[in-house]
Amino acid sequence: MSKNDNFDPIEIDWRLKVFDSLSFPTLVLRPDRTIIAANAKFYERSEVVRDDILGKTCKETFKKVDNVKHLSCHEIDCPLQQVLNTGKSQSIIQRNISRKGEDIWEERVFSPMFDEKGEVKYIIESLRDITAVKVLEKKYIDVREMIDKVVQSSVSGIIAADKTGKIILMNEAAEGLFGYSTADLEHCNIEDFYPKGVAREIMKKLRDENIGEKGKLPSTEVRILTKNQEEIPVEMTAAIIYEEDKEAASAAIYNDLREKQAVQKKLEEAESQLFQSEKLASMGRLAAGVAHEINNPLTSILLYGNLMREKLGNEHPLISNLNYILEDAERCQEIVKNLLAYSRQKRPTKDVFYLNNLVGESLRLIRDQKLFMNIDVVKELDDYQILVNADKNQLCQVVINLIINAIDAMEGQGTITIRTYRDRQAGKAFIEVADTGPGIPEEHLSKVFDPFFTTKELGKGTGLGLSMAYGIMEENHGKISIKETGPQGTVILLEFPEEPISDEFHFMSIG
Ligand SMILES: Nc1ncnc2c1ncn2[C@@H]1O[C@H](COP(=O)(O)OP(=O)(O)OP(=O)(O)O)[C@@H](O)[C@H]1O
Ligand SMILES: [Mg+2]
């Protein structure tokens, strides 16, 4: 310490001890930047001796100390100058390299010591090693960046909102799902993302301790609302984010359920089709057996009955009874014929034909029937000539069955509309038979394709029409379904794979 400093020696001794015992490397400088003291830690830190630094300027000193970078002497950059200008402490963070070549982060703090007049007399500079803090800070930044990447790359939509509902985070998947972009979020509230009342309902459930853990919503199916006001089914989980026991924000994860639900629906349809075909197959075997057994005795009843009728002549008193017997036996034969047709094992004989022709032919086959009474038949046939590859005779049987069902349903009055159309992209062709009848009651919907299910009076229907149609459509790689039914009428839909048109077909004449 300079002799010019008029400290009391005891005081100086005491101050030196404190100064020396400081755990930070520390220097005392004069305003002219000469170093007048350094503590033990400083010598240890910088590996210099007293003569290297005392009485020297900081610039001269730090040139010798190769593990502490010299700070610029430029007025604005020099923290020492800033202390002199402002009379306030200054600090800068500096990255130095240790002798072992490792990074050391140090905070260099410059504090003023004033004289009696309030002028800065000395400047204390201490170096604080903040490497550990810096390492932690770097780790924190890395983890944050990693979390950001995970959130952004997640295939699930993730949204966080503050306690007022303002959106504070939205990942790319959520942007895609909800249709909003980051620019829209300024004016959005989380309530806009759900149909009316749903957001509040979710918050209520989140706070309800009886539903899962408090502040957490287990996986739930809800409908969200997109920017285009489209409602989408999603599976969501949500959580309230607490800060010191107070609600600070909420976050939710969404997974679009549309695809899953579509697959599930297809699976259910396939299952019910399989069930129906199995049922039809076993009923078919049973029906074939019964029909076969009954057919022979019936043939002889009819044969001998007709012989008897010829012998007895029309005047015989018992002839009307015999006629009843024969009429009923003929009806039985008709039923047996249907049963045998229903249970037929024969493969369809397929051919390529125009769908519109199938409609024309089916109508021609029942044209003369008095059945139609006051029923109008409207044909709405696709202008495009749709081709299908199927057994035309079998399909005529199906269309006729549907027309007769429609006639029966309308009880003599109404309109039957037969439509053909196609879905070019899906490669599908369709025929619809629509009536203006009373519709099929809900409780019958699962039974109408069952063999022998009929609501018609005894002797009028066998209940085989639709189940036969079902079997035929299946054999022809098509489908039959009830498209609509209600008090306005019923629409039955037949669906086929569309046959791609071939050049050869253009030149063929087909019926
Ligand atoms: N277009 C329709 N409108 C209302 N109900 C219908 C219609 N088509 C079918 N149904 C109902 O489905 C039942 C089963 O039809 P399905 O064609 O299999 O047998 P059916 O017509 O009763 O007898 P079958 O066809 O053997 O003469 C009918 O009895 C009727 O109750
Ligand atoms: Mg029928």
**What CATH number does the domain containing 47 carry?**
3.30.450.20
Does any domain span residue 149? no
Atom of ligand 1 minimally distant from the CA of 406: 1
241 and 290, same structural domain? Answer: no
pLDDT at 461: 78
Ligand 1 lined by 454 (C-beta under 6 Å):
yes
Q: How many residues does the chain have?
A: 511
CA 368 remoteness from chain centre? 54
Stretch 197-213: mean pLDDT: 87
The protein residue with its alpha carbon nearest to ligand 1, atom 12, reads: 448
Ligand 2 center from residue 339 Cα (angstroms) = 13
Ligand 1 lined by 453 (C-beta under 6 Å):
yes
The CA distance from 261 to 269, in Å, is: 12
pLDDT at 346: 55
372 and 229, same structural domain? Answer: no
pLDDT at 368: 59
Does any domain span residue 433? yes
116 and 174, same structural domain? Answer: no
Stretch 261-289: mean pLDDT: 80
Mutation probe of ligand 1 site: the residue of 343, 448, 452 with most atoms within 8 A of C-beta: 448
The CA distance from 238 to 216, in Å, is: 6
Ligand 1 center from residue 72 Cα (angstroms) = 98
268 and 196, same structural domain? Answer: no
Ligand 1 lined by 358 (C-beta under 6 Å):
no
392 and 469, same structural domain? Answer: yes
354 and 290, same structural domain? Answer: no
pLDDT of 14 over the 50 cut: yes
What residues sit around ligand 2, an ion, with C-beta below 5 angstroms? 405, 465
pLDDT at 294: 85
Does any domain span residue 340? yes
263 and 247, same structural domain? Answer: no
- Among 226, 256, 286, give the residue marking a domain's end: 256
Ligand 1 lined by 375 (C-beta under 6 Å):
no
Q: What is the mean pLDDT of the chain?
A: 87
Cβ neighbours around 98 below 10 Å, total: 11
Ligand 1 center from residue 172 Cα (angstroms) = 53
Beta sheet of 120-129, edge-to-edge order: 35-38, 26-29, 120-129, 103-114, 90-97
**What CATH number does the domain containing 494 carry?**
3.30.565.10
459 and 367, same structural domain? Answer: yes
Stretch 1-23: mean pLDDT: 67
pLDDT at 504: 57
Does any domain span residue 102? yes
pLDDT at 31: 93
Stretch 404-419: mean pLDDT: 93
Stretch 352-366: mean pLDDT: 90
pLDDT at 9: 61
The protein residue with its alpha carbon nearest to ligand 1, atom 29, reads: 454
Residue that is written with structure tokens 């036996």 in the block: 329
Does any domain span residue 139? no
Ligand 1 lined by 402 (C-beta under 6 Å):
no
User: Closest by alpha carbon to 80, among 5, 115, 25, 29?
Assistant: 29
Ligand 1 lined by 407 (C-beta under 6 Å):
no
Does any domain span residue 111? yes
Mutation probe of ligand 1 site: the residue of 408, 417, 467, 492 with most atoms within 8 A of C-beta: 408
- Residue 314's domain comprises 258-345
The 3-class secondary structure across 407-443, one letter per residue, is HHHHCCEEEEEEEEEEECCCCEEEEEEECCCCCCCHH
503 confidence band (pLDDT: 50, 70, 90): low
Residue that is written with structure tokens 């299952």 in the block: 271
Beta sheet of 479-486, edge-to-edge order: 374-380, 413-423, 428-434, 489-497, 479-486
Judge whether 415 and 373 are in contact, CB under 8 Å.
no
3-state secondary structure of 59: helix
Stretch 31-38: mean pLDDT: 91
Domain count, the chain: 4
pLDDT at 509: 46
Does any domain span residue 118? yes
- The first and second tokens of residue 67, run together, are 């593990």
pLDDT at 3: 46
Ligand 2 center from residue 241 Cα (angstroms) = 63
pLDDT at 5: 52
494 and 358, same structural domain? Answer: yes
pLDDT of 314 over the 70 cut: yes
Atom of ligand 1 minimally distant from the CA of 453: 14
Stretch 59-81: mean pLDDT: 76
214 confidence band (pLDDT: 50, 70, 90): confident
Task: Identify the helix (H) or strand (E) that includes residue 249.
Answer: strand 246-256
pLDDT of 41 over the 60 cut: yes
For the chain, give the percent of residues with pLDDT over 90. Answer: 53
481 confidence band (pLDDT: 50, 70, 90): very high
270 and 251, same structural domain? Answer: no
Does any domain span residue 141? no
pLDDT at 1: 46
Residue that is written with structure tokens 């679009």 in the block: 256
Ligand 1 lined by 43 (C-beta under 6 Å):
no
352 and 210, same structural domain? Answer: no
Least trusted range by pLDDT, from 125-139, 322-336, 381-395: 322-336
3-state secondary structure of 174: helix
Ligand 2 center from residue 142 Cα (angstroms) = 72
The protein residue with its alpha carbon nearest to ligand 1, atom 17, reads: 465
- The more confidently predicted of residues 265 and 349 is 265
pLDDT of 511 over the 60 cut: no
Within 8 A by CB and 6+ apart from 294, the residues are 332, 336
pLDDT in tens, 375-404: 999 999 999 999 999 999 889 889 989 999
Cβ neighbours around 237 below 10 Å, total: 16
The protein residue with its alpha carbon nearest to ligand 1, atom 9, reads: 405
Ligand 1 lined by 144 (C-beta under 6 Å):
no
The CA distance from 463 to 99, in Å, is: 98
167 and 111, same structural domain? Answer: no
Ligand 1 lined by 461 (C-beta under 6 Å):
yes
For the stretch 245-252, contacts whose Cβ atoms lie closer than 8 Å and that sit 24 or more positions apart, written own/partner, are: 247/163, 248/162, 248/163, 249/160, 249/161, 249/162, 249/163, 249/168, 250/160, 250/161, 250/163, 250/190, 250/203, 250/206, 251/158, 251/159, 251/160, 251/161, 251/169, 252/158, 252/159, 252/160, 252/202, 252/217
Stretch 199-213: mean pLDDT: 86
User: Closest by alpha carbon to 302, among 270, 276, 326?
Assistant: 326
**What CATH number does the domain containing 285 carry?**
1.10.287.130
Ligand index nearest the alpha carbon of residue 460:
1
